Amino acid sequence: MKCPCTSGLDHAACCQPIIEQKRKAATAEQLMRSRYTAYALGATDWIIESQSPDGRQFVDRKATEEWSRRATWHRMEVLEVKDGGADDTEGIVDFKAYYTIGGEDITHHEIASFRKEDGVWYFVDGVEVKPRPYKRLDRKVGANEPCPCGSGKKWKKCCGKPGVAADRAQ
C-alpha cells in the first residue's frame, strides 16, 4: 500500500518503520509525515511518543484518538521546510492536511516546529494558519437600492429576493 503521507513511497518503506519505532526519522519532514500517517491510521501511541517530552502532558489522548478515528484522511501536502535536516537540531514544516469529518471537507494548514534531542526528532508545537478573510471588492448593494440588473425594481424585490440569485445563475 502507498503511504498515507503522499510521499509516493510504499508505507512499509516510508512511515511504517518510523511509527513502529524500528527506524528514527532522519529529518523534521519525515517526522511530520509519520505523524500525519499516524493520524490517518489511528496510531495514537506514535502521535504521543513523537511529541516533545516536555509537551506530552498537554496531549489529550482521548480527543486525539477521536479526531483520528472520526476523520477520513485524504492527503497531506508539504509546502515548505526550513532547516530540520539530518544535521540540524531545529526545523519548521509548513504543511496542509486534507480530511473530511462530519461530512465537511477540511484543509488544516499548520506551521509546525520540531526539535532534535539526543539524535531524536520531536514535534514541539504547531500554529494553525487561518485563511485570509474574504474582502468584497465591489460595493454591496443595499436592500432598498435599485437592482444592478437594470429592472428598475429595488434589489430586495428583484435579484435580492431569496432564490432569485440562484435562478439567475443557471
* Average pLDDT rounded to a whole number, residues 126-143: 82
Element (H, E) at 32: helix 28-41
Who has greater pLDDT, 129 or 161?
Answer: 129
Question: What is residue 165's predicted lDDT score, i.e. its pLDDT?
Answer: 52
CA trace torsion 46, 47, 50, 56 (10° rounding): -120
Which residues in the chain belong to E strands, given as ranges?
A: 72-83, 90-101, 104-117, 120-128
Question: What is residue 167's predicted lDDT score, i.e. its pLDDT?
Answer: 46
Question: What is residue 164's predicted lDDT score, i.e. its pLDDT?
Answer: 59
Residue 110 reports pLDDT greater than 80: yes
3-state helix, strand, coil in the chain (%, to 5): 30, 30, 40
At 65, is the secondary structure helix, strand, or coil? helix
166 — pLDDT class (breaks 50, 70, 90):
very low
Mean of the per-residue pLDDT values of the chain: 92
Domain positions in the chain are: 11-128, 136-170
* Average pLDDT rounded to a whole number, residues 20-47: 98
Per-residue pLDDT tens digits for 117-133: 999 999 999 999 987 77
- CATH hierarchy code of domain 11-128: 3.10.450.50
Alpha-carbon radius of gyration of the chain: 23
